[in-house]
């Protein structure tokens, strides 16, 4: 019985036989390519999304935008995919949250305001631009609580790389393509808006006029296509709350296809906007199965009354625009990642960029679950996915999942947010158990006070604590807010039927004193092959077991259950009990002194670095000079014949 069945009951795709057979005939040829490209995703998605954000990191939303809440945007654009230029107008319907003498919108410096219409009057003055904003001064004060609107006419060449974000214009095989990607601060570079993480517009209409022969993909539902001379106006609208960075369009020489995904009792519209030589099957394969899985784990698809879709673009990764993911390839891992964002990132959006992990760690880990549960992906790749994800997370020994610096692209889009966050979720699942973990996640994503709004890390923590029944403050302080990860040095001994494990922990970052987490070991011996779990609450703890005869080997962290790095797992002679010693000062800058309770004759000193490498071996002396050692943690061993005792010390500068 699978993990999925254990938690949620039998896994049923709910597809009628005829529908399934027709689809499988269409998709069979694409499946092998999907499996191959899926395996590339764990180490690449974050790097691709980092590249996409490089041009959009400077300057955040103007603080004056807090003076109002947006209820409705009407966006009307006119463009030609062959030319990197935009003109149009945006009507912002808002409610004043305080008495307002003016309204400030986020608006790129490279764009020009032609006029503003307010209460049916056209204004060419009373408009101030600069610092990536536009300010309009009202003729009279708008009182707090008042509903009002302004209409901004503008034009210009959006800032950024002409072939990249946030507003790209590129050649494609049979023409040209313009596409947008605004995460995190790029929306203002192509339309005036409020681009913070505190306010979602209740609804948005987005009309784009293009020359005939082009198509426009966007968020929501296509309301119609009007012919205007030699042009076509595509009229899109969403009535789901939407944050500015999830608004997007792609315009150009798209081929268009439509499907319906059968998800339980729902039939969900699925749009494909593809480039020449891309097939409908290539875009479709696996999506329905992923959606059925996510529906069962996290509740119904959040935008089922509108659609889901794929639109191809010239970026190597993907972007989870609300109701339509922009796709640079159609690998299975990328499909799963971007679809997962419709729940984690779009239905509930991180309430600050510091909390970006609430979007990205979940999308990354959920992609991993598709391997573990064998949905579309081969479950035999699950151990490799875990190993790759954990290995990449180890490359940041001093970083936290929660991001304190949100001004730097390298701080947001990296392994700490994506892979370390994902493997930390896996560790939390180990700590609290499958039932509490999946119940906490589902209760969080279906919380009506958060749904279609914003969440911060404490909101998620509260749901996990409710399902677990205990406080998780220390876990979140260490693993989410704190830097680094635990590094484990294990000594074990076996004598008769008695078995002992001694655990030393060295945090990779010195600011964390200790990570409290149960540790798993695989124990192999005479007619025994089992898993034992120890739960150290302090450092240098020893755990004794009986009825474990003739243990021959010990494996730390089998199946990569815990985000912890193994330094060394060694056997201590079964016939000799370690002796006691003390050392001081600890931490030390220059010398380390020893006091031993037993005879020192024949005692040697070994010092290991945190990687488990022996860096010094000498005969016992009452003190040793450590001035040449780099700052950090070390393991010291005192050995007399088979007797071995260990302790940790810290070298400081």
Q: For residue 6, what pLDDT band results from cuts at 50, 70 and 90?
A: very low
Higher local confidence (pLDDT), 54 or 652: 652
Note the pLDDT tens digit of each residue in 459-482.
Answer: 999 999 999 999 999 999 999 999
How far apart CA 355 and CA 401 sit, in angstroms, is 8
Write phi, then psi, for 477 (nearest 5 degrees). -60, -45
Strand segments (E) across 460-613:
486-495, 498-507, 519-525, 528-534, 541-545, 551-556, 565-571, 581-584, 591-596, 603-608
The secondary structure of residue 60, as a DSSP letter, is -
pLDDT of residue 164: 73
Q: Give which of 109, 118, 249 is closest to 181, Cα–Cα.
A: 249
pLDDT of residue 23: 45
Q: What mean pLDDT is predicted for residues 387-399?
A: 94
CATH among 3.30.360.10, 3.10.20.90, 2.60.40.1840, 2.60.40.10 for 486-571: 2.60.40.1840
Q: For residue 489, what pLDDT band results from cuts at 50, 70 and 90?
A: confident
Task: Indicate where the chain has its CATH 2.60.40.1840 domain(s).
Answer: 486-571
Distances in whole angstroms, Cα of residue 335 to Cα of each of 3, 17, 282, 650: 22, 24, 11, 46
The secondary structure of residue 55, as a DSSP letter, is G
Task: Indicate where the chain has its CATH 2.60.40.3080 domain(s).
Answer: 581-651
Q: What mean pLDDT is predicted for residues 415-442?
A: 97
pLDDT of residue 553: 94
**Is 443 in a helix, a strand, or coil?**
helix
Q: What mean pLDDT is predicted for residues 400-411?
A: 87
Note the pLDDT tens digit of each residue in 308-346.
Answer: 999 999 988 999 999 999 999 999 999 999 999 999 999
How far apart CA 221 and CA 467 sit, in angstroms, is 37
Statement: residue 30 has pLDDT above 90: no
pLDDT of residue 547: 87
pLDDT of residue 560: 95
Which residues sit opposite 61 in a β-bridge? Answer: none
Q: For residue 633, what pLDDT band results from cuts at 50, 70 and 90?
A: confident
How far apart CA 572 and CA 85 sit, in angstroms, is 71
Strand segments (E) across 304-394:
308-312, 318-319, 325-327, 348-350
Burial class (CB in 10 A: 0-12, 13-18, 19+), 225: exposed
Statement: residue 13 has pLDDT above 60: no
How far apart CA 473 and CA 368 sit, in angstroms, is 26
Which of these ranges, 42-56, 61-75, 99-113, 563-577, has the smallest mean pLDDT? 42-56
Percent of the chain with pLDDT over 70: 89
Which of these ranges, 121-130, 284-293, 601-610, has the smallest mean pLDDT? 601-610
What the block records as the tokens of 263 is 């998800």
pLDDT of residue 596: 66
The reply to whether CATH 2.160.10.10 applies to domain 581-651 is no
Statement: residue 575 has pLDDT above 50: no
What the block records as the tokens of 256 is 């268009």
Mean pLDDT of the chain: 88
How far apart CA 545 and CA 530 sit, in angstroms, is 13
Note the pLDDT tens digit of each residue in 133-147.
Answer: 999 999 999 999 999
Q: What mean pLDDT is predicted for residues 396-414?
A: 87
């Amino acid at each position: 019985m699978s993990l999925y069945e254990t938690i949620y009951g039998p896994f049923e795709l709910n597809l009628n036989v005829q529908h399934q057979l027709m689809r499988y005939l269409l998709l069979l040829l694409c499946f092998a390519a999907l499996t191959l490209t899926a395996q590339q995703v764990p180490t690449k998605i974050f790097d691709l999304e980092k590249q996409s954000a490089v041009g959009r990191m400077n300057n955040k939303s103007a603080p004056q935008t807090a003076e109002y809440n947006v209820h409705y945007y009407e966006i009307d654009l006119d463009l030609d995919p062959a030319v990197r230029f935009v003109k149009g107008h945006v009507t912002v319907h808002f409610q004043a949250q305080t008495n307002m003498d003016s309204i400030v919108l986020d608006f790129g410096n490279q764009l020009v305001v032609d006029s503003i219409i307010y209460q049916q009057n056209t204004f060419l003055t009373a408009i101030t631009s600069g610092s990536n904003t536009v300010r309009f001064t009202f003729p009279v004060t708008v009182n707090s609580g008042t509903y009002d609107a302004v209409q901004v006419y503008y034009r210009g060449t959006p800032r950024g790389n002409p072939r990249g974000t946030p507003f790209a214009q590129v050649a494609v095989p049979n023409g040209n393509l313009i596409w947008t990607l605004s995460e995190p601060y790029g929306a203002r570079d192509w339309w005036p808006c409020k681009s913070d993480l505190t306010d979602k517009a209740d609804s948005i209409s987005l009309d784009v006029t293009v020359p005939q022969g082009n198509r426009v993909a966007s968020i929501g539902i296509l309301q119609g296509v009007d012919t205007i001379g030699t042009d076509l106006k595509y009229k899109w609208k969403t009535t789901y709350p939407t944050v500015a960075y999830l608004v997007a369009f792609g315009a150009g020489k798209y081929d268009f296809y439509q499907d319906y995904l059968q998800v339980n009792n729902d039939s969900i519209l699925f749009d494909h906007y593809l480039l020449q030589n891309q097939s409908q099957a290539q875009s479709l394969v696996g999506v329905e199965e992923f959606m059925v899985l996510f529906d069962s784990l996290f509740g119904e698809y959040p935008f089922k009354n509108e659609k889901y879709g794929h639109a191809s673009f010239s970026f190597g990764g993907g972007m989870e625009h609300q109701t339509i993911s922009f796709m640079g390839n159609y690998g299975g891992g990328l499909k799963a990642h971007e679809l997962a964002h419709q729940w984690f990132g779009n239905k509930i959006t991180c309430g600050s960029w510091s909390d970006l992990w609430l979007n990205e760690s979940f999308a990354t880990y959920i992609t991993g679950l598709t391997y573990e549960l064998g949905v579309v992906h081969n479950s035999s790749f699950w151990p490799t996915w875990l190993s790759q994800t954990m290995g990449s997370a180890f490359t940041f020994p001093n970083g936290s999942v929660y991001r304190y610096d949100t001004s730097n692209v390298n701080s947001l889009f990296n392994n700490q947010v994506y892979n370390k966050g994902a493997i930390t979720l896996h560790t939390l699942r180990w700590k609290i158990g499958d039932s509490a973990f999946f119940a906490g996640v589902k209760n969080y994503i279906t919380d009506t006070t958060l749904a279609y709004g914003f969440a911060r890390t404490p909101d998620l923590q509260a749901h996990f604590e409710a399902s677990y029944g205990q406080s998780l403050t220390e876990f979140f302080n260490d693993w989410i807010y704190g830097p680094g990860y635990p590094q484990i040095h294990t000594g074990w001994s076996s004598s008769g039927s008695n078995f002992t494990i001694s655990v030393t922990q060295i945090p990779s970052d010195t600011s964390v004193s200790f990570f409290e987490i149960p540790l798993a070991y695989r124990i192999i011996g005479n007619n025994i092959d089992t898993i034992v779990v120890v739960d150290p609450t302090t450092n240098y703890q020893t755990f004794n077991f009986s009825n474990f005869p003739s243990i021959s080997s010990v494996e730390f962290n089998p199946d990569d259950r815990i985000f912890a790095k193994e330094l060394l797992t060694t056997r201590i002679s079964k016939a000799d009990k370690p002796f006691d010693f003390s050392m001081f000062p600890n931490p030390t800058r220059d010398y380390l002194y020893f006091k031993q309770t037993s005879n020192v004759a024949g005692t040697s000193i070994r010092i290991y670095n945190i990687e488990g490498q022996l860096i010094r071996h000498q005969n016992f002396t009452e003190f040793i000079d450590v001035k040449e050692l780099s700052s950090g943690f070390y393991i010291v061993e005192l050995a007399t014949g088979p007797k071995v005792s260990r302790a940790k010390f810290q070298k400081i500068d």
